[in-house]
Amino acid sequence: MLLGLAIRDIVLIDRLDLSFRPGLCVLTGETGAGKSILLDALGLALGRRGEGGLVRDGASEASVTAEFAVGRNHPAHAILREAGLDRDGETIVLRRLLRRDGKSRAFVNDEPASVSLLRQLGDVLVEIQGQFEQRGLLEPANHRVLLDAFAELGGEVAALARAWEAWQTAKRREAEAARRAAEAHAEEELLRHHLTELEALAPEADEEDRLAARRTLLQNAERLAETLNEAIVELAGNDGAQAALARTLRRLERARGRAPGLFDAAMAAAERAAAETSEALAGLESAARSLDLDPRELEAVEDRLFALRAAARKHQVAVADLPVLRQAIEAKLAAIEDDAASAGALAKTTLARRADYIAAAERVGRARMAAAKRLDTAIASEFKPLRLDKARFRTVVTGLDEADWGEHGCERVHFEISTIPGAPFGPLTRIASGGELSRFMLALKLVLAGTSSVPTLIFDEVDSGIGGAVAAAVGERLQRLGTSLQVLVVTHSPQVAARGAHHWRVATRLAEKRTVTLVEELDADDRREEIARMLSGRSITPEARAAAASLIAAGRA
């Protein structure tokens, strides 16, 4: 609720500090006293448009400070947290400084802020209903929220939003899978072509090194064969090492008897040498036989080696990595097949989530239709006492095309009214009279009193063009609203003023050769005098005082 309002240098107001309390607060005063200035000043603190003409003559800057008290769970604190301006405690202070050139500065809790932030906070802290206000209940964007709150659909609407998000998430996943599948399909044919080539080539990890070594051997086979033959002759020829060792052993064997033990070591070594020579000769002969090669093998080896290296260049990898590339292509093709299968499963999931959303939306839709009828009846019941008996009100629930569905459901909600018999229904803003509009807003607010988180409601011109029993009905309803909200009403009606829990009088006086606006809270006696003035004019009669006392007593009954 609004705790206090401090105004400096606004039009006729020099310096004004007001404290407000819960319930119905009435502000009265003669025409031109400055009641509308108070609302203009409050509007500045709430982020409304400011004009340099509001700055008092002789002052360079005007200021307005509004202090509010709301619970920690109020939406205003969420707005402040998002802006990084929340603080401990439940009070929120909005301040606006306005220069004569129309430029302004804004502060929230004594921290610099934007005017748009003030406007955001103002929209959740105060609702002003009057001839020039087209906000709050009048905005079609709010009508669905109001109907849902009236129908107490908080849980169902939250479940609907979750169903919507689940459906949208499934759609996004399906679309992403489809995108990947489309991209994969574009390269699938090429991948399969590459895999066929690699499968036909069948590369092995160390094949290049083996082929290169074999190629070198084959290229040098003739020269190597000559070398081997020469080596064999050196070992096995008549004058070769093998024959020489055999002759040596025979001679030593013949001489052994003449010198027992003398040649044993030498003979053993010669025998080992003969054995090693035989083994070496066998190795050379084996090597020579292996060089008896097919002359076409070199061509085959080179063709294979060149094919491997060509494939490596084509895919820009090393020859040794061709088997790895083959495995990667196989894995990618397998993934493409899996994505295709996954896309089908995701499509089924999307259909299931869509069905869940539609079921939730239909439940909410049916509840809205039923609540709309109850709301229409409840509001219509308030019309006659407020002299709106010719008016007709209806809540229109319109189905939307699927492209317009959203987290809030499959229908649009807006309020319409007709104030003339036989005239078509139209938006609420078509009501011409400011007082008529305010009374209609009063009826609507009475029915929807428990649905809004806005703690302060202001009515301006609610009693325009009415009196007697209608004014009394307006006052009774404002008083009823004051039991659940802080209600501020600017009024010329004594019947309305008598219903107030608190009463302020707005007046002007001449100070230092200029007119200034003053606001004073009235005690019981002053209040009776003010209501008597409202009843009889400047000359207050005993009858007027008696009538004022009677009105006040009736308001307390």
The tens digit of pLDDT for each residue in 432-468 reads 566 677 778 888 888 887 777 788 988 887 777 777 8
Print the SS3 string covering 80-123.
HHHHCCCCCCCEEEEEEEEECCCCEEEEECCEEECHHHHHHHHH
Query: What is the distance between the alpha carbons of residues 38 and 25, in angstroms, rounded to a whole number?
Result: 14
User: Regarding predicted confidence, which is higher, 137 or 480?
Assistant: 480
Least confident of 97-106, 130-139, 269-278, 511-520: 130-139
The tens digit of pLDDT for each residue in 355-388 reads 999 999 999 999 999 999 999 999 999 888 888 8
Q: Where are the domains of the chain?
A: 180-337
Identify the band that residue 134 occupies on the pLDDT scale cut at 50, 70 and 90. very low
The pLDDT of residue 554: 85
Query: What is the distance between the alpha carbons of residues 100 and 61, in angstroms, rounded to a whole number?
Result: 6
Identify the band that residue 486 occupies on the pLDDT scale cut at 50, 70 and 90. very high
DSSP class of residue 501 equals S
Whether 379 contacts 443, CB under 8 Å: yes
The pLDDT of residue 136: 64
Least confident of 115-119, 463-467, 484-488, 520-524: 463-467
The pLDDT of residue 85: 86
Average pLDDT, the chain: 86
Evaluate if pTM is beyond 0.85. no
The pLDDT of residue 8: 93
User: Regarding predicted confidence, which is higher, 66 or 204?
Assistant: 66
Query: What is the distance between the alpha carbons of residues 209 and 392, in angstroms, rounded to a whole number?
Result: 95
**Average pLDDT, stretch 473-493?**
90
Query: What is the distance between the alpha carbons of residues 548 and 528, in angstroms, rounded to a whole number?
Result: 6
User: Regarding predicted confidence, which is higher, 332 or 76?
Assistant: 76
The pLDDT of residue 51: 86
User: Cβ–Cβ contacts within 10 Å for residue 470, how many?
Assistant: 19
